[in-house]
Amino acid sequence: MAGLLVLLVILGCAAQQYLKGTFVKSFTTVIITICAAIVAFSYFEILADVFVSRYPAFVPWAQPLSFVLLFVLAFAILQTISSRLTRQPINFGLWPERIGRIVCGIFLGLILSGLLLTVLAMAPLANKYPYQRFDATNPDAQKPNKVLLNADGFATGWFNIVSNGSFSGKRSFAALHPAFLDQVFLNRHNIADDISIATSSEAIEIPTKKAAWPAPQDIKDSKGKPVSPKSGHNLTIVRVGIKKKAVKDAGTFTLSQLRLICKQKNYAENPLTGKGKNIYPVGYLKTANQLQEKRLNDQIKLERSDFDGKVKWIDFVFYVPKDYLPVLVEFKQNNIAEVPPPVTAEQAPPAVFFIQLSKCATDIAELEAISSAKVYGIELAAGPELLAGLRLKINDINQWQSAQTADSIKPAQFEDGKINYVRAKLKIEESTQEDAESRRKSQEKREGIPAMLKPLSGYRLLSLKCNNPPTGVAIKAEQLPVLVELSGLIHRPVGIIAAGKVNDQVVYEVDYCSLTAEDIADGLTIAEDGSVAKAFPDTVWLTEQAQNISEFYVLYLVKSKRNAIITLVQPADSQMTAGFKEYEGFLIK
């Protein structure tokens, strides 16, 4: 459709100039159009800021409307002046007139169609209008599609040349908006998801010092593998702050709306002049040495709960060409901030950990498998989903006492109907349908095993469903997986629930402790940071006795009321760590 529009505008302008104009008027119209476009490109952002400050409802339309208004006014004024100066007709002869009018008409149509497509690209329209410049599912800033005759690229390209030359002044359009079309198209790539393309107030902030530095040499990707180097580029970290006061417009964005403007090292002293280069992020630092990779159209959502101050700092990661330096950061359509000179790796500030709370699970999350480990996690669960898949159905103390065998290591200790401490062997016999129905009616308000487990005060209980480990030897507590927080804090097990077949009978091992070491000698040890410092139990003896294991859950206690985020699960006997398949972390409120 965009190609057809370009063709129609060019043919219309050529026909109009041929039938209604003269060569001099046609040529004058082309010059006037170029001059009006220069005025529009030079001042549309300044005028748009006036509209934004006074009429917040027009924020998405401020820039395209300002551009059109300036172009029309400049064109009208210059056309009026021109008509006064060219009252007397000038004729160059039949064929020069005919050829000259057509050539000028074609050139005029190319400019006007390019300007029209540029304005439409700036407007808050659907991504496919005026045409699909980037792949809808996985945009690549290095692979833009082009319209017929590259009309919009021609219209913006020549202005870049003008603004970088003798007409550049103190601010060069080529420095502020390199590859302007790519910027505006990528800025609204996810507009269908109600992501704003502009903000009604200043939304970003850059530290005055230590805002950019080289990425660590040992940086890993989101799967724990070394980040692949890119030939001719340096992996660079740039710290960008999103302001809390602008979270309504700026809280949800894509990496395609954030661009780093870089300049060659010899010309980086004045960031607002000359010519720049757009660099888009490949992700952000999840931890000090881990990159959370993102595509350009992946959404980042900040909620007010993500802010612990007026600004939320995020360390974005870019591949910067080796002979370039970052000078500016641009965000959405109308935010820009200067980047101070990069510092060395030795001078770099401590990394800012970031994870989106909106991308965290709170009840249950599936993990990536680590098949090289003896015991690895499959699902992490809390709250209503805690032990949701467990087949052990016990709803009260009496049921527990009847199932608990005489050779249990330590019988269950109850307090107010909840288990404080147990290392028990349970043998569950299949009940008849009548017994099951009677039990269901008498205990339909009871919540079963999860409600019977008593966590420490101020802690949240989590369960890690694991693969069924091999049998033949008892598993030690140190061989069970541990949970790793975003801050690096390690959480060790406080118990296990496992089921296995022993002599043609299903036997459950339930080991759990919610008490501190002061209460029971071989119970839990709580470290100063609030984590469990000593894993419980000492061993899982069922893995030694059973022919096979059918269910295996590991229990953990994590301090709540501080938005703790579990990012990784580390099997004890593997160098690999497991993340979550659909989430960036597991939030414990």
Encode the chain (589 residues) as per-residue pLDDT tens digits: 888 999 999 999 999 888 887 888 899 999 999 999 999 999 999 999 999 988 888 899 999 999 999 999 999 999 999 888 776 676 666 677 888 889 999 999 999 999 999 999 999 999 999 999 999 999 999 999 999 999 999 999 888 877 765 555 678 898 999 999 999 999 999 998 999 999 999 999 999 999 999 999 989 887 778 998 999 999 999 999 999 999 999 999 999 999 999 999 988 888 888 889 999 999 999 888 889 999 999 999 998 888 888 999 999 999 999 999 999 999 999 999 999 999 999 999 999 989 888 889 999 999 988 888 889 999 999 999 999 889 888 888 988 988 998 888 889 999 888 999 999 999 876 554 445 555 555 444 457 899 999 998 889 999 999 999 999 999 999 999 999 998 889 999 999 999 999 988 899 999 999 886 555 556 778 888 888 888 898 899 999 999 999 999 999 999 887 778 999 999 988 878 888 999 989 999 8
Do 256 and 264 meet the contact criterion of CB atoms below 8 Å apart? Answer: no
Q: Are residues 12 and 146 in the same domain?
A: yes
pLDDT at 216: 92
Do 373 and 572 meet the contact criterion of CB atoms below 8 Å apart? Answer: yes
Q: Are residues 405 and 326 in the same domain?
A: no
Tell me the pTM: 0.82
Counted domains in the chain: 3
Question: Does an H or E element contain 400, and which?
Answer: helix 397-403
**d(Cα 418, Cα 499) in Å, to the nearest integer?**
21
**What single DSSP character describes residue 308?**
S
Q: Are residues 151 and 91 in the same domain?
A: yes
Q: Are residues 346 and 364 in the same domain?
A: no
Q: Are residues 346 and 370 in the same domain?
A: no
Q: Is residue 584 part of a domain?
A: yes
Calculate helix-pair angle for 94-122, 151-163, nearest 10 degrees. 90
Q: Are residues 447 and 583 in the same domain?
A: yes
Q: Is residue 185 part of a domain?
A: no
pLDDT at 434: 46
Rounded to 5°, the CA angle 272-276-278 comes to: 125
Q: Which of 306, 339, 354 is the last residue of a domain?
A: 354
**d(Cα 426, Cα 511) in Å, to the nearest integer?**
11
Return the bridge partners of 126, or none: none
Of 375, 575, 577, 371, which Cα lies nearest the Cα of 474?
375
**d(Cα 469, Cα 479) in Å, to the nearest integer?**
11
Residue with tokens 């080529």: 174
pLDDT at 165: 58
Q: Where are the alpha helices (DSSP H) in 92-172?
A: 94-122, 151-163
Q: Are residues 215 and 165 in the same domain?
A: no
Q: Are residues 438 and 303 in the same domain?
A: no
Q: Are residues 441 and 514 in the same domain?
A: yes
pLDDT at 476: 92
Q: Which of 323, 354, 385 is the last residue of a domain?
A: 354
Q: Is residue 80 part of a domain?
A: yes
Q: Are residues 168 and 230 in the same domain?
A: no
Q: Are residues 447 and 488 in the same domain?
A: yes
Q: Is residue 184 part of a domain?
A: no
Q: How far is CA 487 from CA 354, 419, 497, 565, in A?
A: 10, 31, 28, 8
Q: Is residue 188 part of a domain?
A: no
pLDDT at 543: 95
pLDDT at 92: 60
Q: Which domain holds residue 15?
A: 2-176
For 462-491, b/e burial (b = at least 16 CB within 10 A) is bbbbbbbbebeeebebebbbbbbbbeebeb
Locate 508 and state its tokens. 């459950």
Locate 302 and state its tokens. 């900040």
Q: Are residues 233 and 290 in the same domain?
A: yes
Do 134 and 189 meet the contact criterion of CB atoms below 8 Å apart? Answer: yes
pLDDT at 432: 40
Q: Is residue 37 part of a domain?
A: yes
Q: Is residue 329 part of a domain?
A: yes
**d(Cα 55, Cα 463) in Å, to the nearest integer?**
52
Do 245 and 201 meet the contact criterion of CB atoms below 8 Å apart? Answer: yes
Q: Which of 295, 326, 354 is the last residue of a domain?
A: 354
Locate 24 and state its tokens. 């001099």
Rounded to 5°, the CA angle 489-491-493 comes to: 170
Q: Is residue 403 part of a domain?
A: yes
